[in-house]
Amino acid sequence: MYDLISWWEEPEKWRAFIEAHGLWGPFCFVILQATQVVLAPIPGEVTGFLAGFLFGPWWGFFYAMIGLAIGSSIAFYLARLFRRTFARRFEKSLYFQRLSHFMAKRGILAAFVCFLIPGFPKDYLSYFLGLFPIPWSTFLIIMILGRIPGTLALTLQGAATYERNWTLLALVTAVSLIFFGLFYLFRDRIYRYLEGKSAHPLS
């Protein structure tokens, strides 16, 4: 416990430890991030924050997105390979039922919006989408674009914590809360749009 407190008080020890292992540090983190998507042993918010803390905002963001791309692709193909098993598992899921309805009305745009929605289970979403007849390349593009905002915010928060830059941490957190607040405010309109009941989510 004393060592953990000491390392927290001197965060440069963490990066020195990672850098001492050369390419194994980033490699192990990418594997951890990918495993988090496939098996979800720890929340994705933790690994995103950890990426920024250990590698800085930009390299952390890069490694986090690489891990997300690999893990999400594995989940997508597992669902496609074992379609019947996953279909039986997800058929009663409220999220899957909602996504099926959205996809029927708005197509691939609905999947992209779901990746943006705060609180939507994005790791499971990769499995869900594997059950729909969409190309992997299309899935990968919408997954990456949809997860960029949240992942970037987490890595910036992690980097700001490492640097003890409380102003940046507060700013990124405030922007994230504003985004979440706007979604909450317009959530009914967004859902009506995805259900095909509105021409525009803000109309």
Does 199 map to a domain? no
Does 200 map to a domain? no
* Residue pair 122/84 in contact by the 8 Å Cβ criterion: no
Q: Identity (one letter) of the amino acid at 110?
A: A
- Answer yes or no: is pLDDT of 147 > 60: yes
Residue-number span of the structural domain to which 167 is assigned: 2-194
pLDDT band at 2 (very low <50, low <70, confident <90, very high): very low
Does 126 map to a domain? yes
* Residue pair 139/156 in contact by the 8 Å Cβ criterion: no
Does 59 map to a domain? yes
Query: What's the rounded mean pLDDT across residues 113-123?
Result: 86
Q: Is the dihedral of CA 102, 103, 109, 115 positive or negative?
A: positive
The 10s digit of each residue's pLDDT in 51-63 is 999 999 999 999 9
Q: Is the dihedral of CA 131, 38, 124, 145 positive or negative?
A: negative
Does 203 map to a domain? no
Does 202 map to a domain? no
Does 45 map to a domain? yes
Q: Is the dihedral of CA 49, 54, 60, 64 positive or negative?
A: negative
Domain count, the chain: 1
What was the pLDDT predicted at 191?
A: 85
What was the pLDDT predicted at 92?
A: 84
